[in-house]
Structure 1
Amino acid sequence: MALATPALPQHFSTLVKRLAAFDNLIIIAYHGEHRPAVLYREYTDPVVYLPMDSQYLGGDYLLDPFYREHLRGGVQGIRRLRDIAPDHFRRTHYYKNYYHQTTLLDEVAVFANITESDTITACFGRDRSSGKPFNRRELEVLQQYELTLSSLLKKHWQDYRSDDVMKAAPAPLEERLRETLNQQHSIRLSPRQAEVALFILRGHSSL
């Protein structure tokens, strides 16, 4: 009954808490390679989202494993951050200068594709409030309901569109990196070098 009403996020939160308790929840809309939009958030400790608007939405999202999962396209259901993050994720600038500030210990996201380029994600986190990650049983329960949770998000936001969708899509990140390095530091990278640099920035090792 809460579908298509402002009450849906709170009801959605209550439903998930019965499956696996969490400390924080944020629902984000990703639009292709445009800047994402926050649709809803709740938390136990306000510290968890303090750097969200300035740092994450300011550009750090480009190195977020959940954002990279969205760019793959066609992603539905549950994803756990530690399962999709690169092997050297904790060594990255993104982790040390953004993620570590949030005090997040574990995150699970429900993905729902709205259009070919638009994805809604509901990210449930455990932070210093509880001080422990999700356990295996909680993850198994969430996975049992992943299609239901994805469907609820998709149904509720099926008509959601961002103003950015009407704008021209930004250049690919590799191209923007090459241009920025050239303009600001007179460093010229080949397309392949820029691709490798981004793999390193995201936390991939050479293995």
Structure 2
Amino acid sequence: MRVDFTALFRTLADWTGRPAERSDRLTGETLLAMMRALVRFDEMVIFAYRDEARPIDLFSTFDADGYHVFVTLYQAGPYLLDPFYHTARAGRAGIFRMRELAPDRFFSSEYYRTYYSKTRLAEEIGFFVPAADGVTVVVSLMRREKAGSFPASEFALLADAAPFVAAFVRREWGDLAGRFAAGQGRSRRSEPVSATDRVWRKLNLTDREASIIEMVLQGHSSESIGLKLDISTGTVKVHRRNVYRKLGISSQIQLLSIYLKNLQS
């Protein structure tokens, strides 16, 4: 599509003329209008991440059913296996396609089959904006299966817009740490044991077993895990078999079910 400069500049003019205090909804709608002037997409969602805390949904365009899948179910635990979540936690900045960030077996993983496939997306692109106090805001643009992936020309245009998106997000949502603390009583940063670590301890896994199984759930192959942990592929497979035997399971879908059940208990 051609850039709609009229809509873009009108939105910019309205934004600069508004009062400093704005709601998440109004801010999200402003950014949505700007992005729609640049490229075609079906949905947009904006999440704020901090450590392992439940992400804050700042804005989205979903209907009720879509909100249940993309936000409610996601916040219940699957976010901990999401490539976007792990990229946000790493503090990376810029614009990325989901397929750039996903582990090598992500699209055949049980997480993908059980949760992500329900989204019925052809592609998801994210603007990653590190803000203050360990918070990263991710602006996700999504295209449904019927629309297909973002063409290279549109991705290049979005990449050119990334510095503006980052500046916009930092101005509008630059101080979110207090909202994480208010939502949890205290920040996860101060907790000595993370949510996932508590699950692994409850399941009586060793640190090495926990590291391997967590990467399995994220969608890493045995080869990928071996490279990241600097151990042989055979050693990875031995640890994986030991964990399955310890938990009395025989499949990744059972592993994911146990993980999510213990995560939420």
TM-score (norm 1): 0.87
More helix as a share of residues: 2
1:110 pairs, out of 112, 127, 137, with 127
Give structure 1 regions of 4+ aligned residues with deviation exceeding 6 angstroms: none
User: How far does residue 33 in structure 1 lie from its aligned partner after superposition?
Assistant: 1.2
Q: 1:149 to 1:52 in 2, by over 3 A?
A: same
Partner of 2:116: 99
Q: Which residue of 2 aligns with 1:125?
A: 142
Structure 2 counterpart SS, 1:123 = strand
User: Could you list the runs of 5+ residues in structure 1 that have no partner in the other structure?
Assistant: 182-187
Aligned length: 198
- Give the secondary structure class of the aligned counterpart of 2:126: strand
Which is higher, the Rg of structure 1 or of structure 2? Answer: 2
The 3-state SS of whatever aligns with 2:121 is: coil
Name the structure 2 match of 1:63. Answer: 81
For 1:123 and 1:4, the matched residues in 2 are separated by 24
Residue segments in structure 2 that go unaligned for 5+ positions in a row: 1-15, 224-265
How far apart, in 2, do the equivalents of 1:118 and 1:165 lie? 15
Q: What residue is the counterpart of 2:199 in the other structure?
A: 177
Which residue number in structure 2 is paired with residue 148 of structure 1?
Answer: 164
Local SS of the residue matching 1:28: strand
User: Cα deviation per residue 1:82-129 (whole Å; 9 max; x = unaligned)?
Assistant: 10000111122221111111111100111111224111111110014x
| Structure 1 pair 140–168 and aligned structure 2 pair: CA distance change class (3 A) | closer
CA contact under 8 A between 1:105 and 1:127: conserved in structure 2?
Answer: yes
Secondary structure in 2 matching 1:111: strand
Higher relative contact order (CA 8 A, sep 6+): 1
Identical pairs, percent: 28
Is 2:27 aligned against 1:5?
no
The DSSP-based 3-state class of the residue aligned with 1:121 is: strand
- Please say if 1:51 is aligned against 2:73: no
RMSD between aligned alpha carbons? 2.0
What is the match of residue 42 of structure 1? 61
SS for the counterpart of 2:150 is coil
In the alignment, which residue of structure 2 is the partner of 1:16? 35
TM-score of the superposed pair, with normalisation by structure 2: 0.69
Amino acid at match of 2:68: L
